[in-house]
Structure 1
């Protein structure tokens, strides 16, 4: 995992220190683990997809 300081997670919105960076957006370690374990049938799956789309939309605007 990439270590950073004071980043706001694009998924949960919380400030975290550890996570990954995709383009210019940060995903905390907690959300990363939860997304990887989420099944397509899970109610949270569409939420994660929506949040991840924000990365592409913000960088293509």
Structure 2
């Protein structure tokens, strides 16, 4: 049986990905993030999704 986690970027449940500062990112999103230039509008989307994911890890 395989283990699946929810990607913090696309929210899909996947088996393959990485944890970056306790935030899970699927392989597809990781690849897209790596290849997105900073001047691309999608870059800002990734920054916001990562910030939201990190904030959710902080207990209230």
Distance 2:46 2:31 in 1: 12
| Number of residue pairs the alignment of both structures matches | 58
- 1:8 counterpart = 2:9: no
| Equivalent of residue 42 in structure 1, options 26, 32, 40 | 40
Gaps of 5+ in 1: none
Aligned residue for 1:5, secondary structure, equals coil
Aligned residue for 1:27, secondary structure, equals strand
Q: Which structure 1 residue ranges, 4+ long, deviate > 6 Å from structure 2?
A: none
Q: Shift of the alpha carbon at 1:45?
A: 0.7
- Cα RMSD after superposing both structures: 1.6
What is the TM-score when the length of structure 2 is the normalising length? 0.82
Gaps of 5+ in 2: none
